[in-house]
Amino acid sequence: MKQKQIAVFIFAALAAIGLSSCGGKVISRVDSGTQIDLSGNWNDTDSRLVSEEMIRESFSNPWADRFYSEHRRPPRVIIGTVLNKSEEHINTETFVKDLERNLINSGRVEFVASSSQRGEIRAERDEQALNARDPKRQRYEDAADYMLKGQINTIFDREGKEEVKFYQIELELINVESNKVSWIGQKKIKKYIARSKYKA
């Protein structure tokens, strides 16, 4: 009986050690801007750098200056859909937010809220119209002049433990009134990944 209890104790101890070794461990905290590539997948660094470069590139095109010279005000821009056409899970909402931030921080355009945001704001205005002492005006919204849309495509090439990941990000700036494409941008990223021979 005693031997059986000892065996059960040893088994429980080994199981506890095994479970604890499966958990993650924070090695250190790093600055959020630090580039860290673990898997080779699309990550926060790709999202940040691509959005910065593509928005900067868009303003090297004369569309914004041309609009200002014609209308004497900055163009208003809204972000449309950014499609993930890759075989990899990519959180496009994070990329969209990076694009929004870089557009706003550029100081070259005015940014218009998305359709979901506008719905929430309209509901709040309606609520204020009924209940607030000093309700906001009801129907004065600035329309967007341009919509920025895009997609992320990938090509993966694998052989044994080696892999090349190719990302192609495309953005189009479309004039909302005329449907004319005012700017097309493209950014390419290629990553070479060598898996450890000891890794399954």
pLDDT digits (tens, 9 = 90+) for 41-58: 888 899 999 999 999 999
Q: What is the mean pLDDT of the chain?
A: 81
Does some domain include residue 186? yes
Does some domain include residue 187? yes
Strands 110-111 and 146-159: unpaired
Domain that holds residue 190: 40-113+140-194
Rounded percentage of the chain residues whose pLDDT exceeds 90: 48
Does some domain include residue 66? yes
CB atoms within 10 A of CB 6: 10
Q: What is the pLDDT, as a whole number, of residue 33?
A: 56
On whether the pTM is more than 0.75, the answer is no
Q: What is the mean pLDDT of residues 165-188?
A: 95
Of 17-26, 42-51, 131-140, where does mean pLDDT reach its minimum? 17-26
Does some domain include residue 125? no
Q: Which tokens is 102 given?
A: 């870089």
In this model, does residue 180 exceed pLDDT 70? yes
Rg, Å, the chain Cα set: 25
Q: How many CA atoms lie within 13 A of 6 on its CB side?
A: 3
Does some domain include residue 134? no
pLDDT category, 30, cuts 50, 70, 90? low
Of 76-80, 96-100, 123-127, 142-146, where does mean pLDDT reach its minimum? 123-127
Written in H, E and C, the secondary structure of 108-150 is CCEECCCHHHHHHHHHHHHHHHHHCCCCCCCCCCCCCCEEEEE
Does some domain include residue 106? yes
Range among 13-17, 180-184, 192-196 rated most confident: 180-184
Do the beta carbons of residue 13 and residue 21 sit within 8 Å?
A: no
CATH number at residue 72: 3.40.50
Does some domain include residue 21? no
Q: Which of 77, 76, 75, 48 is nearest to 62 (CA)?
A: 75
pLDDT category, 178, cuts 50, 70, 90? very high
Angle between helices 92-106 and 44-58 (to 10 degrees): 40
CB atoms within 10 A of CB 197: 7
Does some domain include residue 133? no
Total number of domains in the chain: 1
